[in-house]
Amino acid sequence: MAPAGRAAPPPEAVLRAFAPAPGQRGLQEPPGGRPGRRRTATGPWWKSDARSDPWRDPHAPAGLIGPAVFEEPEEQTGPVVVDAKGRRRLRLADVSIRLAVLGLLAVLLTGLVGGAAGYWLTRTADESPLLAPGTQLSETDEGIAREPGSVSDIASRVTPAVVSVEVRIGEAGATGSGVVIDGENGYIVTNNHVISGADGVEGAEIRAVFSDGSGSAARIVGRDPASDLAVLKVEKPGLLAAALGRSDGVVVGDPVVAIGSPLGLASTVTSGIVSALDRPVRLAGEGSDTNAVISAVQTDAPINPGNSGGALVNGAGEVIGINTAIASLGGGSVGLGFAIPVDTVRDIAEQLIATGRAVHASLGVNARSVTDGTRDGALVVNVEPGSAAAEAGIREQDVVIAVDGDPVGSSEELVVAVDSHDPGETISVELVRGGSSTTVEATLDEA
């Protein structure tokens, strides 16, 4: 191993090939070559440190030097510089304030010129006239077909026969509806609870307002609290009377139209179907002496306060009931409506027109609805002395379960069953007494 600080001698083959001639240092001349220029200290390949430069003198000793030092690139000035790949770039930091202001002004000037041009074009463009006298809009030549039996057809035929009934008592007032049943004599049927407050009250006024807007004072012909019906009379000739149908021709599901003045809105038409028949409904109008139980026609046609006394009409345009009550959780048309059947209306109206009063059959008992879990009935809580029930031997605590063989499931059904007969008729009453069933015969009185 060569001593520290000294380079190892070159191999023998290298010495034979590159060793200098005797008495000569450095590399020998190439074979057959001529000596080159004498190197001097000022020559580019001959420096003062040549002896220690191994790239120039193979005999120069090798040694470690410091790390490589690279010169910083020359700093470029100006906004446009050349990057390491030779590409030109704009250096915003070197852009002068003057140049930046000039660029901003150029942008603003461009926008100003564009806006002015747009404004000028819009102001100078031709505008169409705002008004066009003589303009006619298009219309269809074909009319709308309204088939017989449609709601519009029914409304056009029946609405003239339905009136608004206005009642004024002092400073208070109320509105209901009515139906003309005799145009020649000016008779109008309505609900008792609509006009009962004005009967016998000094200064009270009742007025009928017709579909054409005309009106006439009305007088009470008669009223019946037990059926909630009343008849008025007006002195107005040439009235159109409604056609009255028959109750036995009505079935559940029939389309119906309700016509009246709900909420004071005259000649209002709503539609629906018959949703039930023979529905026992107890009527008791606030501020009225009405105390009735009717076997009602139930409908889902929207009915509101003010419809009372109006017409419930079938698809043939015939009145099948007089609207009288609603059942709703909210007190409006979101519920069910009830109408007095037309057969009852005809019977009571004829009596009122003829005599001013109506008569009803009476059994002479007060009852309430009961059930034992398997059978419903009407529990007798009071028997009037000398009444038809007393004469038949009906006692308190008896439970009536049938009349003439038809089941009775409530006190309302008992009233309806008795009222369907005339005074003087005899009926069979089945009742439960002491756990056993018995049947009695009762001849009805006049109420």
Where in the sequence numbering do the catalytic residues fall?
193, 228, 308
For residue 402, the cross-strand partners are 407, 430
Answer whether 344's CB lies under 8 Å from 248's CB: no
Q: Which two tokens stand for residue 364?
A: 């002479």
Answer whether 378's CB lies under 8 Å from 371's CB: no
CA separation for the pair 361, 226 (Å, rounded): 11
3-state percent helix, strand, coil for the chain, nearest multiple of 5? 20, 30, 45
For residue 270, the cross-strand partners are 258
Burial class (CB in 10 A: 0-12, 13-18, 19+), 408: buried
Answer whether 258's CB lies under 8 Å from 310's CB: yes
Burial class (CB in 10 A: 0-12, 13-18, 19+), 97: exposed
Token pair 């004599």 is at which residue? 185
CA separation for the pair 412, 368 (Å, rounded): 8
Cβ partners under 8 Å of residue 3, min gap 6: none
For residue 365, the cross-strand partners are 383
Answer whether 174's CB lies under 8 Å from 194's CB: yes
Rg (C-alpha) for the chain, rounded Å, is 58
CA separation for the pair 357, 447 (Å, rounded): 12
Helix locations, 125-163, DSSP H: 151-158
Answer whether 381's CB lies under 8 Å from 389's CB: no
Answer whether 232's CB lies under 8 Å from 190's CB: yes
CA separation for the pair 274, 212 (Å, rounded): 29
Burial class (CB in 10 A: 0-12, 13-18, 19+), 8: exposed
CA separation for the pair 160, 241 (Å, rounded): 8
